[in-house]
Structure 1
Amino acid sequence: MRQKFFNSLLIISIALVGSSTFFQQFDFGTGELKFITDFGFGALFFFGSILSITATTQLFFYEMENRTALTMLAKPVYKLEFLAGKFLGAHLLMLSFTFVITLVLSAILYWRDTALVARLGDEVILDGPLVRYGDVFLFGFLQWMKFGILAAMTLFVASFSNTNLYTIIVSFFLLIICQLQYIARDAYSGMEAGWERFLVLGLGLIFPNFQLFNIGDQLVFDVDQALPLSTVLQLVGYGVIYTVAFLLLAQVNFRRREI
C-alpha cells in the first residue's frame, strides 16, 4: 500500500469517480444517478483490473529479483504457501482499493440523491428510495471476487514467466478473453453437435466468464427485486473454484521452476 503506483492509481480512481457529476452533462440517455453509478462501476473495474495484475506481478517478482524467495523457501515453507501468501497480499490490497472506491461512490450517490429528493419533494419519497446503497457494496464485493480470479491467473502466468512485462501483457490478454468469453458461449449454444462445439465448450470452461459478475444493472435501482442470495452464493462459489484452480496450476508450474 506504500507503493507509489497504488497510491497514484487510487487517487486517480477517486478523482474520476468524483468527477462523474461533471461528465453526466455529456450523457443524454440515462438519469443522473444511473450515469454516476455506471461511471463508478466502470472506473472500479478498469482501474481495479490494472491494479490487480500489476500488484500481483510486482509482489511475485520482487521476491524473485531480490532473491528473498530463496531464503524463504529454504525454510520449511512450501511453494504453495509462498504463492498463497502472494495471492492473499494482492487480494487484501484489492479489498482496500475496492472498499475505498465503493465508499466514495456511495457518498456521491447519497449527495445527489439528497439533492434530488430536496428538489422533487414528496413525488420522489412516495415512489420509495432512489438508491439501494447496500447493493453498491454488494457489486463491489463481487468485483473483488473477480479481481481474485484475475490475481490467481496472473500468478499462474508468473509461475512460468521470467519477466514482469511478459506476465503483465499475457495477463491483460487473459482478462480480455474472460471479458469476451460470453461470445464463445453464445456461439456454443447455436452450434450443431461436432468437434467445433466441444472445442468452444472446452474454451468456455477453461476461461472464467467475467460477464457473470457484471450485474450492476440488476442492482442499485431495482428496489422491488433484490438480488437473490442463491445467485450471490453461486457467483462466490464460481469465483472460489476458478481462483483455487489457477493457484493449484501455478503451484504445479512453480514446483518445476529453478529459483
Structure 2
Amino acid sequence: MNFSRIFVMASNVFQEVIRDRILYIIGFYTLILAAAMRILPEIAASTEGKIFLDFGIALMGVIGLIVSVFVGTGLINKEIEKRTVLVLIAKPISRSEFITGKYFGLSAVLAVLVTTMTVIYLGFLQIAHIPYGIASILIAVLFLFLQISLINAVAISFGSFTSSLLAVILTFAVYLMGNISQDLLKFGRLSQNPGIENLTQALYLILPDLSRLDLKNQAVYGLQALPSAPTLIANAGYGLLYSSMLLAIAILIFSRREF
C-alpha cells in the first residue's frame, strides 16, 4: 500500500462528507442538550446531574452511529452508481488503498464530530454546575469513537458487496446484536440445549462484542467505576483488531468484484 495515496483518498472523502453539511448535526446535538438541560430537572430533581451525564454521552453515540452507518454504507455504492469507481481504480490506486482511504476519511469525520460534541457537552456540564470526572468522560468518549469506528468498518464491509439499503439494515443488525452478544452467550448456557448453546457461542465469536467499548454508564461514576488499565488496553486492542479484520474482508471482497 502507498500511504500517500491513502492519505489523498481519505482527504477527498473527508472534504466530500464535510461539504454534505454533515457538521450541521453538531447544531442538532447542541439544541437537544439545551432542551434536555431544561427538561431533565423536571423529571428527576435529585438525580438530574447523573441523568444528564449519561444522556449527553448516549446522544453522542447515537449521532455517531447514524453517521457511520448511513454515510459508511454509501461511500462505495455511491462511487459504483456514479461509475466514478471505474476512473478511480483505473488510476494508479489499488482497491485496497481505495477501501482503506474511504475508511480513514470517514473516521476522520467521526473524530471531528465526536471531539466537537465532547467540547460542547463539557461546556454544558460547566454551565449547569454538574460535577463530573473529566478523565472518566474522556476515556468513555475515546472508547465511543472506537466503537463507531468499528461500525464504520462494518458499514464499509457490507457496502463493498451489497446495496446501500441492505447494507444499512445489516449494519444496524450487527450493532444491535453486538450490544447483546454477551447476553446471548449467557442465554445459551442457561438454555442447557447443546444446539442453542453452540449457536450462541458461534454468534458471540463472529459478532463484535460492542459492550467492551461501551463505558458511558461507568463514566458517570468516575474513574473508580471504569475497568482496570490492562482491561481497557485489551478492549481497545480488541476494537482496533476487529476493525482491521473487517477492512481486510472488505478489501478481499472488493478486489474480486468486476465493474
Which TM-score tier does this pair reach, normalised by the shorter chain?
Answer: 0.7 to 0.9
User: Does residue 1:86 correspond to 2:87, yes or no?
Assistant: no
Query: How many angstroms apart in 2 are the aligned matches of 1:226 and 1:174?
Result: 25
* CA displacement 1:167-219 (0-9 Å, x = unmatched): 22222222222122232122134354734322211100111122222222222
Query: How many angstroms apart in 2 are the aligned matches of 1:197 and 1:88?
Result: 37
Query: How many angstroms apart in 1 are the aligned matches of 2:38 and 2:76?
Result: 39
Cα-Cα RMSD: 2.1
TM-score (normalizing by structure 1)? 0.85
**Equivalent residue, structure 2, for 1:3:** 20
**Equivalent residue, structure 2, for 1:121:** none
Taking a change above 3 Å as real, the CA distance of residues 7 and 71 of structure 1, as seen in their structure-2 partners, is: same
Taking a change above 3 Å as real, the CA distance of residues 62 and 188 of structure 1, as seen in their structure-2 partners, is: same
SS of residue in 2 equivalent to 1:19:
helix
Query: How many angstroms apart in 1 are the aligned matches of 2:189 and 2:84?
Result: 49
* Amino acid in structure 2 at the alignment position of 1:83: I
**Equivalent residue, structure 2, for 1:71:** 87
Query: How many angstroms apart in 1 are the aligned matches of 2:101 and 2:158?
Result: 16
Contact 1:18 1:105 in 2 (8 A): no
**Equivalent residue, structure 2, for 1:125:** none
**Equivalent residue, structure 1, for 2:73:** 57
* Amino acid in structure 2 at the alignment position of 1:256: R
Query: How many angstroms apart in 1 are the aligned matches of 2:225 and 2:165?
Result: 45
Tell me by how many angstroms 1:157 deviates: 0.8
1:52-201 aligned within 5 A = 52-113=68-129, 130-161=131-162, 163-192=163-192, 194-201=194-201
Query: How many angstroms apart in 2 are the aligned matches of 1:195 and 1:90?
Result: 40
Contact 1:159 1:250 in 2 (8 A): yes
What residue ranges of structure 2 are gaps of 5+ in the alignment? Answer: 1-17
SS of residue in 2 equivalent to 1:208:
coil
**Equivalent residue, structure 2, for 1:124:** none
Query: How many angstroms apart in 2 are the aligned matches of 1:60 and 1:226?
Result: 37
SS of residue in 2 equivalent to 1:190:
helix
User: Does residue 1:213 correspond to 2:219, yes or no?
Assistant: no
Contact 1:149 1:242 in 2 (8 A): yes
Greater shift after overlay, 185-194 or 150-159? 185-194
Contact 2:75 2:102 in 1 (8 A): yes
Q: How many residue pairs align between the two structures?
A: 242
* Amino acid in structure 1 at the alignment position of 2:238: Y
**Equivalent residue, structure 1, for 2:6:** none
**Equivalent residue, structure 1, for 2:243:** 243
What residue ranges of structure 1 are gaps of 5+ in the alignment? Answer: 117-129
Larger of the two Rg values belongs to structure: 1
Query: How many angstroms apart in 2 are the aligned matches of 1:195 and 1:149?
Result: 30
* Amino acid in structure 2 at the alignment position of 1:233: I
Query: How many angstroms apart in 1 are the aligned matches of 2:101 and 2:195?
Result: 40
Taking a change above 3 Å as real, the CA distance of residues 77 and 105 of structure 1, as seen in their structure-2 partners, is: same
Contact 1:9 1:51 in 2 (8 A): no
**Equivalent residue, structure 2, for 1:32:** 48
* Amino acid in structure 2 at the alignment position of 1:57: T
Contact 2:54 2:220 in 1 (8 A): no
* CA displacement 1:140-162 (0-9 Å, x = unmatched): 1101100111011111111111x
Taking a change above 3 Å as real, the CA distance of residues 226 and 194 of structure 1, as seen in their structure-2 partners, is: closer
> Identity rate of aligned residues, in percent?
21
**Equivalent residue, structure 1, for 2:12:** none
Contact 1:18 1:104 in 2 (8 A): no
